[in-house]
Every structure is written in structure tokens, then in C-alpha cells.
């Protein structure tokens, strides 16, 4: 009977040790759960911040697209101005050619006009 009592006491001690171990493990698990919850909250904050930054970058990207379109419009306008200036240059070259043809005859016309008696 003493041996049975000793085995019962040993079993009680083992159960207490198991209970203590299980309780300690439960506390550790709860501590880890709290830590994981804190990390999860932190990750959520970081995720929200990344979303905000991403939205801001999208806004900047859209603005740069607008600026790019405006530069393209300005570039097209400069191309039109260049084309117009080329036409003006051609026209001025034609005028210059006409003036070059008239210049030799201008001396003759002036001579005739100055040699003529004035009316009156």
C-alpha cells in the first residue's frame, strides 16, 4: 500500500509538473500572441503608409503625364512655327531675288528721272 501511495504521489507530482509546464507554455503562447498582434498592427500601419505613398506617387505620375502632354503640345507648336519660319524664309529669298534683279535697273531709272526736266 505504501508503494501504491508512493506511485500516486509520484503521479500527482508528475501531473503538477505537467500542469505547471502547460501553464508556462500557455503564458508563453499568450505572450507570443500579444507580440504577434503588436507586429500585425505595426505591419498594418506600414501597409497603410505604403498605400498613402503609392497614392501620392500615382498623383505625381499623373501630373508628370500632364506636363509631358503639355511639352508635346509645345513641341508641336514649335514645329509649326519652324515650318512657318521656313515659308517666310523662302518668301524673303524670293523677294531678295526680285530686288537683286531690280537693283541694276534702278540705277538706269534714277538716271532717267534726274536727267528729265522738271515740269513747271
The model's pLDDT over 21-73, given as tens digits with 9 standing for 90+, comes to: 888 999 999 999 999 999 999 999 999 999 999 999 999 999 999 999 999 99
Structure confidence by residue, pLDDT tens digits, 59-89: 999 999 999 999 999 999 999 999 999 999 9
The three three-digit cell numbers of residue 108, written as one number: 538706269
pTM of this prediction? 0.53
The chain-wide mean pLDDT, for the chain, equals 91
Q: Which of 98, 39, 95 is nearest to 87 (CA)?
A: 95
Please report the pLDDT score of residue 106 as a whole number.
82
Amino acid at each position: 500500500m505504501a508503494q501504491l501511495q508512493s506511485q500516486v504521489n509520484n503521479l500527482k507530482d508528475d501531473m503538477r509538473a505537467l500542469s505547471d509546464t502547460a501553464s508556462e507554455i500557455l503564458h508563453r503562447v499568450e505572450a507570443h500572441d500579444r507580440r504577434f498582434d503588436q507586429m500585425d498592427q505595426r505591419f498594418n500601419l506600414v501597409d497603410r503608409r505604403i498605400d498613402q505613398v503609392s497614392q501620392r506617387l500615382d498623383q505625381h505620375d499623373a501630373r508628370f503625364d500632364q506636363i509631358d502632354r503639355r511639352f508635346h503640345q509645345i513641341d508641336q507648336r514649335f514645329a509649326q512655327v519652324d515650318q512657318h519660319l521656313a515659308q517666310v524664309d523662302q518668301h524673303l529669298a524670293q523677294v531678295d531675288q526680285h530686288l537683286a534683279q531690280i537693283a541694276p535697273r534702278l540705277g538706269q531709272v534714277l538716271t532717267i528721272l534726274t536727267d528729265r526736266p522738271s515740269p513747271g
